[in-house]
Amino acid sequence: MTSVTSVAAPVLAAAPLLKLRGVRKSYVTGDIETPVLKGIDLEIGRGEFVAIMGQSGSGKSTLMNILGCLDTPTSGEYSLDGHEVATLRDDDLARVRNRTIGFVFQGFNLLKRMPLIDNVALPLLYAGLDRAQSRTRAQVRLEQTGLGPYAFRLPNQISGGQQQRVAISRALVNDPPLILADEPTGNLDTQTSVEILNLFTELNRSQGITLLVVTHEPDVARHANRLVRLKDGLVTYDGPVEDAHL
């Protein structure tokens, strides 16, 4: 009898959530072209916690805008969750952005005359859910960030740290696989900043959410697992935070 040796099927690596190849971005004013990104190659896997660092003028904000589909590269390729961004029409791009990305900004960007629960529910309303369903899901996210009892307060009735938690709740309400946070602790005191960063860490560990945090603060970057450092529009370091000598 001839023995048959079984061969295990190869394990395929999961496709990256974000993939950039040769991404360049220039701005033109009159006859002057100013290059900002000069050829970025970058892959971010699902479930990573990545800090993007760089001094003013390094290109980190431009890179964040491209990653968030708020701007387009001058050249190069960008794939987001399997979608080639350059091929998407405006309405498809808006749909991908709404379902795939949650944004957290330094300035919170809450609507001042709207209760917290409705601020959080906004992405769901844009996605077509009715108000009752949107509020129910928004309340769940507010509970998860410790703000359930404050659902019907206005933004000016809570602290800055609490407002940032509302912004995080809003970013999470659509269950996106990716959170982009641009200087999320820039307007907060040290203790509140630590609380927000610990919340990010817990969301990353417990829910597997991919986190990209743009910052110029080493103390913020140390909460991430991976660091991407930009200088003059190029990646000068991409590796573990502990090896980056912050």
Look at residue 106 in the predicted model and tell me its pLDDT.
86
Asked if residue 37 lies in contact with residue 235, where contact means CB atoms within 8 angstroms, the answer is: no
Q: Distance between CA 140 and CA 155 in Å, rounded?
A: 18
Could you give the CA distance from residue 112 to residue 28 in angstroms, rounded to a whole number?
36
Task: Decide: helix, strand or coil at residue 148.
Answer: helix
Q: Which two tokens stand for residue 121?
A: 């529910």
Q: Residues 6 or more apart from 128 whose CB is under 8 A from it?
A: none
Q: Structure pTM?
A: 0.87
pLDDT digits (tens, 9 = 90+) for 14-60: 689 999 999 999 999 999 999 999 999 999 999 999 999 998 889 99
Number of other residues whose CB lies within 10 A of the CB of residue 76 = 17
- Which is more confident, 53 or 4? 53
- CATH number listed for the domain at residues 18-243: 3.40.50.300
Mean pLDDT across the chain, nearest whole number? 90
| pLDDT tier at 13, thresholds 50, 70, 90 | low
31 CB contacts (<8 Å, ≥6 apart)? none
Question: Structural domain boundaries of the chain?
Answer: 18-243
Query: Which among 223, 207, 212 has a CA at the least distance from the CA of 173?
Result: 207
Give the Cα separation of 105 and 29 in Å (integer).
Answer: 27
